[in-house]
Amino acid sequence: MRVEVPRKLVHVAFGTLLIAIGAWYGEAALVAFLAFSFFAGLAIIGLWMLGYQPEFVALLFAALERRHADFPGEGALFFVTGALLLATFSTNFAFTLAVIAILSFGDGLATLAGIAGSHALPYNKEKTWEGSIAFFAAGAAFASLFIPLQAALFYAALLAAVESCDFPADDNLVIPAAALVFQLAFGL
Amino acid sequence: MDLAVWAFSWIDEYYYFVLALFTIIGLYGFKHKKIFIAALLLAALLSPIAKNFYAVDRPCAGMAECPDSYGFPSIHSSVAGVFAVASMGTPWLFFFLPAALLIAGSRVLLGVHTVSQAAAGLAFGAAVYFLVWLAVNRFRHSKFVKKHGLLE
């Protein structure tokens, strides 16, 4: 709980930054920023794993890293990789921004609501109804800034269902990948 | 600039030799060798399928020396992405991270891919590696993973 709140706030803030870059400067700028973040993230995490551990990076990891991470900066690197995958493979840039909004605000608020929630999902005891409803509501609200409301509700519901499942992978990778599959299947 | 184009053209010409050499280095120096090989094979197998599925032309389409295949995503970048993330936690990162950047950049400089196509390849390769690693790591206590030493 102590680590989850600031970690998710950073998650939402980074997503907001990506959306701002995409909305103001366009697709090419977003792809370039994500590619830069990917290489910079790999370099920082890779150097950390080899023992180069500057104080400010240590403070950042201590404050923001999830408790059971397999390597430092895991969630952030997966988020950047998933967003880059989405930004390059999506055939509609408005859809890209909508899914980044769902991933940032939906997933961020789902975690916070899930911590406070007490009604576990029948098929996944690790997640709660409160978290899934928060994911859907926040995701749909922010996605509707970029795509029509009906489409925002539809994709937020689909991705909330994906997020609620117990996949053997990280949500930051699974949600963008699932969104791309849904886009191919249902259009937009 | 001419030297860079010459160097990138050389890498392109001897790509399979360079790839084989890099793979041997990976098998020698990476942390999770079996995951690396599985991800490399998957990325090399799925990238051409994605190319034919998306059917996006290369920026050089129609020119004499343009490769006779679609351009999205870049297979070179996809494979480079696997090497870059697989080298995390080893000193080989200092080699494979700049190499991935150079290989992806060279495809753009040679005019055979756009920046987006090269970035898509990198993301695809990295995502494939991470998904294989996460799946194996999730079942690390299973008999299958232990028996076959998949995390070695």
List pLDDT tens digits, range B1-36: 677 777 777 777 788 888 999 999 999 999 899 999
Q: Could you give the CA distance from residue A92 to residue A98 in angstroms, rounded to a whole number?
A: 10
Task: Determine the pLDDT at residue A2.
Answer: 54
- What distance in Å separates residue B28's CA from the closest CA in chain A? 17
A140-175 pLDDT, tens digit per residue, is: 999 999 999 999 999 999 999 999 888 878 889 999
A residues 82-121 lying closer than 8 A (beta carbon) to B: 82, 84-85, 87-89
Interchain contact, B134 vs A89, CB within 8 Å = no
- Provide CB contacts within 8 A for A170, sequence distance 6+: A74, A75, A78, B130, B134
Angle formed at CA A41 by CA A37 and CA A43, multiple of 5 degrees: 120
Backbone dihedral angles phi then psi of residue B60, each to the nearest 5 degrees: -95, 5
Host H or E run for residue A124: strand A124-128
| B84 touching chain A per CB within 8 A | yes
- What distance in Å separates residue A13's CA from the closest CA in chain B? 22
- What distance in Å separates residue B8's CA from the closest CA in chain A? 20
Task: Determine the pLDDT at residue B11.
Answer: 75
**B91-102 as b/e, with b when 16 or more CB fall inside 10 Å?**
ebbebbbebbbb
Q: Could you give the CA distance from residue B11 to residue A88 in angstroms, rounded to a whole number?
A: 25
Interchain contact, B88 vs A49, CB within 8 Å = yes
Answer for the pair B86, B36: CB distance below 8 angstroms, yes or no: yes
Cα dihedral A26→A32→A36→A42 (10° resolution):
100
| A34 touching chain B per CB within 8 A | yes
Angle formed at CA B35 by CA A177 and CA B125, multiple of 5 degrees: 40
The domains of chain B are located at 2-148
Q: Which amino acid is at B139?
A: F
Cis before B48 (ω within 30):
no
| B89 touching chain A per CB within 8 A | yes
Nearest to A154 by CA among A179, A176, A173, A174: A179
ipTM above 0.90, yes or no: no
Residues of B in contact with A170 (CB under 8 A): 130, 134
Residues of B in contact with A38 (CB under 8 A): 122-123, 126
Q: Residue B37: pLDDT above 90?
A: yes
B81-97 pLDDT, tens digit per residue, is: 999 999 998 999 999 99
A113 vs A154, residue with greater confidence:
A154
Who among B73, B97, B119 is closest to A46 (CB)?
B97
Task: Determine the pLDDT at residue B130.
Answer: 94
Q: Could you give the CA distance from residue A94 to residue B84 in angstroms, rounded to a whole number?
A: 30
Average pLDDT, whole number, for chain B? 89
What DSSP designation does B58 have? P
Residues of A in contact with B54 (CB under 8 A): 89
Interchain contact, A81 vs B130, CB within 8 Å = yes
Q: Residue B149: pLDDT above 90?
A: no
Residues of B in contact with A31 (CB under 8 A): 115-116, 119
Q: Could you give the CA distance from residue B52 to residue B73 in angstroms, rounded to a whole number?
A: 10
| A43 touching chain B per CB within 8 A | yes
